[in-house]
Structure 1
Amino acid sequence: MKTADVERALLDCCLDIDGEQVVSAVRRLGLGPTHFTDALAQETWGYVVACADEDVPINRATVRAKAAAMGNPTWKADDLRTSPYGDDWIGASPEDMARTVIKEGRAKEMVNRMRAAKRDLDSMRSVEAVAGELTRYLMTLVISESRGVPISVAEEIESHVDGILTGRDAGMGVKVGFPEIDADLTAGGFKRGELVVLSGVPGACKSLIAQCWLDNHALEFGGHGVFISAELSRAEIHDRRLNRLARIDTKRLRAIREKPDELVPAERQLLEEAAQVISSMTGAVYVDDTAGPTVDEIEAKVRALVARDPKVDMLVIDYAGRVEGGEGREERLRLGRISRRIANLTKELRLATILLVQPNQKAVEGRESKRLERRDLAESSEYERDAHWVGLIHNPAVYDPKAPAKLEIVWAKARGVAPNKTTWLVPDLKYMTITSQGRDRVLQRRQGEVGEA
């Protein structure tokens, strides 16, 4: 039983319970059709939401009528009881379906979907009114299957040592394409399950650093990751990639966008080659640019993506201050709840998460030294507590345009190494990239294919 099967089963349950309860639940949603992965589930949920918007009780008859009114007279509720993978489980009980999930070893993935649904569908209280017996059975039975109980060290230690001695666990680190980070700092990349907080004032190149790390992870190491940007649009993110890979500077790319007829053949070739490099890379980068995402939305989207692409091991959130949600009258308490949710998501899905955080800019501006200090994260101190790594970025050019192009990252909190270790990187804002001592290893691999525009 795969993800699409469970989505169909959930919606099938929705149509069998009290229609007014479903309407009430839908009104509290942050869930839209795109939260589902299966095409039929997306389509059905669109009809369910349309019914709820008109205060129409939701059941098989009303949803069928709404589907017809929206131009799909062939939609049938019974289709939800067939699998897109060819199996037919009409008449199967929720208990039978739950046992199938466990038997096939898909319990953890399914529970991740259930938890995402629970948070989105019913304000984190109870999913029973929406998912019926299927979800109730899964939530009580399968959670123990996926999370497990504490395991004896004696049962695991031999396998753990074997993984070290045989090299089975080699290459498990999430590398970002900079020797200063991958080798000198982390000895093999950030570990899956680690939360990395990067903080810097506006202009410190936080977003650019994170994007280059993620792109390097995909382009150089075949990694899979997701960039959730509440700050930049998808177009801006894509332009940065083209600036870097096509070696067309930011000003020129903007001019081409405004007057494409002025594009010269050499530039066209560079852009086409850059697009080919990105489209043919062995890794994968996903982008979400939803404005003001809630922490519930981030959790649901990341869980759904990991269920669809289990190779995803890196998450970038740009930036924490734009994430909505979290309860608490004080900003510090609200951020603390968001921080814990992101830290728990990181650990549970075994991701290396890069979380961008704004410092207290007034405190920095009010003193002579503009280098960040740990105390500058006062409002964001909860992020520092939950993080495995805290990098404080200083870009002298923010305060002195004549300063040399050099970024300093002081690791105020670092796992396994002495704190306050410093990493130096070089920004190249003409081509919107961050380099290692002026060298871009991704471009070096393509030397001879990409030159100066």
Structure 2
Amino acid sequence: MENQLLASIEAEVSVIGGVLVSPIAFSEVSAIVSAGDFSKELHRRIFAAMAAMDAAGQPIDVLTIAEWMESKGTLQDGDWGYIGAAARDTPSAANVLAYARIVRDRARRRELIQLGTDLQSWAMQDDAEKALAKLKSAIDAVADAAGLESGLVPIKTLLPVVVNEIDQRFEGIAPKGSPTGLADLDVKTGGLKPGKLYLVAGRPAMGKSVIGLQIAARVVGDGGKAAYFTAEMPNAEQVERLVANVGNIDLGALQTGKLGDEQWSRLTSAVTSLSAAKLWFDETGSPLLSDILSKARRLKRREGKIDLVVVDHAGLVEAGGENRQNAQSTVARALKGLAKELSCPVIALVQLSRKLEERVDKRPMLSDLRDSGEWEQSADVVAMLYRDEIYNPDSPDKDCAELLIRKHRGGVLGIIPLRFLGQYSRFESMAGGLPSWDLPTPTKRNHRGIDL
């Protein structure tokens, strides 16, 4: 029983196996434990290798970690089989964070026991004042290792930052986020801000990809750098849409090749403009979350900064063999973490549940988010697209759309009217609101036939 309180080999194996089963979990696990927290020397070597590989942007699995350890001279006889068994005997990473906390708890207990032994030695060798000073220093070290004070910032440090921001707002010089190209959206949200996760949701054919690509085009058009991960559409098709958007060229003409002289001129201008853009595409089908994170990190290391990441659509991203609900929760948390890590906005495009189509009013709500409530929790802004003409062919709002801001952390909610120019693969701000907003409200009659 005493040994179990000081070390849990089972929990250590489960942590290592959990990371091997779901490598994306490493970022969260490493925030809880470090290699030194493992009691078994082999486990320390394996976890240290995982940390080094993650820092280098290398994929983590049984083969790659064994080869990494071998290249560093830390792989010993029998280690490869042990690593494989850890992965094989761990069916899921669902509880890996709980196991990591057990490992951390046992490590802190061992440190406290060692502290008791050291205190006895100090009391025998030093005077009381020196022994107490050593004890205080040692306790602080254990507390720091336990993360008891990590992230704590005194209010005295924060107040000048807040006052400076208030002063900048008063002077009208407060820093703004990157423009999206949709003026009314920028007014409501203040533009795209670093470290924020933006969710654009809608049913099929509403225009999620159009708006994601359009915002990316605006960011790079302003001199920024962006990465666009797409699981649904080939890169060439995305670029064709982008050319139509930037060049104001009918997409149908581009697809048939039947362009007039003016359209050829616009095509040349658009291609020249886009050739200088710092925009990267990745069209991997059913992409792994770990791949998206690694590629985004490598791009930032190579380019020095990145101004936007778009994932289209995030519902198709796989997260290491977990069931769909757990996987989507992992994806949501990881993309929010990526936004903070890279200090850039991340836009995730997601599809809504078809159950909303059973309602009379099919405008989407937060409860229509599929598979996981984690999207609602992790996102800073949730914007939902609705085009009435998809459901009502005779709609007065033909070629129009509503962008419904259903969640805005620290900001206002509302409806942003947009004009949809499908032939140019573009949305535009719409002054004055939707046509249906100007229609008279039907009069109601009471039971005596009097207009109300």
After TM superposition, is the score higher than 0.5?
A: yes
Which of 273, 276, 281 lines up with 1:277 in the alignment? 273
Deviation at 1:351, TM superposition (A): 1.7
Contact 1:118–1:124 (8 Å) recurs in 2: no
**Structure 2 CA distance, aligned partners of 1:310 and 1:170?**
25
Give the 3-state SS of the residue equivalent to 2:287 in structure 1.
Answer: coil
Q: Give structure 1 stretches of 5+ with no counterpart.
A: 1-26, 31-110, 135-143, 257-261, 440-453
Using a 3 Å threshold, how does the CA distance of structure 1 residues 116 and 29 change in structure 2: closer, same or farther? farther
Using a 3 Å threshold, how does the CA distance of structure 1 residues 328 and 310 change in structure 2: closer, same or farther? same
Which of 66, 69, 76 lines up with 1:129 in the alignment? 69
Give a deviation string over 1:221-242, Cα, whole Å, max 9, x none.
Answer: 3222111111111111111122
1:393 aligns to 2:385 (yes or no): yes
Larger Rg: 2
Give a deviation string over 1:263-285, Cα, whole Å, max 9, x none.
Answer: 5544332211111122245xx22
TM-score by length of 1: 0.61
Aligned match of 1:428: 421
1:240 aligns to 2:237 (yes or no): no
Give the counterpart letter for 1:273 in structure 2. S
Contact 1:316–1:354 (8 Å) recurs in 2: yes
Give the counterpart letter for 1:174 in structure 2. S
> In the TM superposition, what are the counterparts of 1:259-278 in structure 2 within 5 Å?
264-278=260-274
Give the 3-state SS of the residue equivalent to 1:315 in structure 2.
Answer: strand
1:372 aligns to 2:374 (yes or no): no
**Structure 2 CA distance, aligned partners of 1:400 and 1:364?**
15
Which of 179, 182, 188 lines up with 1:175 in the alignment? 179
Give the 3-state SS of the residue equivalent to 1:379 in structure 2.
Answer: coil
Aligned match of 1:189: 191
Deviation at 1:154, TM superposition (A): 3.2
Give a deviation string over 1:314-367, Cα, whole Å, max 9, x none.
Answer: 1110001211124533x2122111211111111111121110111111x12222
Give the counterpart letter for 2:202 in structure 1. G
> In the TM superposition, what are the counterparts of 1:401-420 in structure 2 within 5 Å?
401-403=393-395, 404-419=398-413
Contact 2:310–2:347 (8 Å) recurs in 1: yes
> In the TM superposition, what are the counterparts of 1:328-347 in structure 2 within 5 Å?
328-329=322-323, 331-347=324-340
Using a 3 Å threshold, how does the CA distance of structure 1 residues 166 and 424 change in structure 2: closer, same or farther? closer
Contact 1:225–1:312 (8 Å) recurs in 2: yes
> In the TM superposition, what are the counterparts of 1:21-420 in structure 2 within 5 Å?
114-115=53-54, 117=56, 120-122=59-61, 129=69, 132=72, 150-155=152-157, 157-158=159-160, 161-162=163-164, 165=167, 170-183=174-187, 185-186=188-189, 188-219=190-221, 221-256=222-257, 264-280=260-276, 284-329=278-323, 331-361=324-354, 363-403=355-395, 404-419=398-413
Using a 3 Å threshold, how does the CA distance of structure 1 residues 360 and 28 change in structure 2: closer, same or farther? closer
Contact 2:288–2:319 (8 Å) recurs in 1: yes
Using a 3 Å threshold, how does the CA distance of structure 1 residues 263 and 365 change in structure 2: closer, same or farther? closer
Give the 3-state SS of the residue equivalent to 1:121 in structure 2.
Answer: coil
**Structure 2 CA distance, aligned partners of 1:233 and 1:298?**
16
Give the counterpart letter for 2:214 in structure 1. C
Deviation at 1:385, TM superposition (A): 1.2
Identity fraction in percent: 26
**Structure 2 CA distance, aligned partners of 1:356 and 1:337?**
15
Give a deviation string over 1:160-194, Cα, whole Å, max 9, x none.
Answer: 644664689844512212211112x11x3132111
Deviation at 1:209, TM superposition (A): 0.7
Give the 3-state SS of the residue equivalent to 1:120 in structure 2.
Answer: coil
**Structure 1 CA distance, aligned partners of 2:419 and 2:55?**
40
Using a 3 Å threshold, how does the CA distance of structure 1 residues 426 and 117 change in structure 2: closer, same or farther? same
Root-mean-square deviation (CA, aligned residues, Å) is 3.4
Contact 1:229–1:289 (8 Å) recurs in 2: yes
Give the counterpart letter for 1:333 in structure 2. N
Using a 3 Å threshold, how does the CA distance of structure 1 residues 318 and 408 change in structure 2: closer, same or farther? same
**Structure 2 CA distance, aligned partners of 1:401 and 1:310?**
48
